[in-house]
Amino acid sequence: MQTHPFGSCCDELAEVMNAVPNSFFRVEENGVLYLTIGYVETEEGPGFFDQAVLFCPFCGKELQTRLEIAQKSDRSV
């Protein structure tokens, strides 16, 4: 399991995760790192499409596995 905070693999990920005012990266309460990859305006407001991040998009280091995500999300693989 992940033992260090996301963004410790490289300066680029650390910087974008802390970008002001908001980052497209976010860590849910369950500890899974997500990246917003799209959004759409609906009658109810904006809708976002998020994808769990397996590898750092900047340095390529594995950040979390599908099994870890499934366990944290309480879902089967």
In-domain check, residue 53 = yes
CA pair distance 49, 59, nearest whole angstrom = 23
Name residue, tokens 């979390």.
64
> How many domains in the chain?
1
CA pair distance 6, 39, nearest whole angstrom = 23
- The pLDDT score that the predictor gives to residue 23 is 76
In-domain check, residue 5 = no
In sequence order, what DSSP letters do the residues of 26-70 get, joined into one string? EE-TTS-EEEEEEEEEETTEEEEEEEE-SB-TTT--B---HHHHH
In-domain check, residue 1 = no
In-domain check, residue 22 = yes
Per-residue confidence in pLDDT tens, the chain, 77 aa: 444 578 899 999 989 888 876 678 989 999 999 999 998 999 999 998 999 999 999 999 999 999 999 999 886 55
Task: Name the residue range of residue 33's domain.
Answer: 11-73
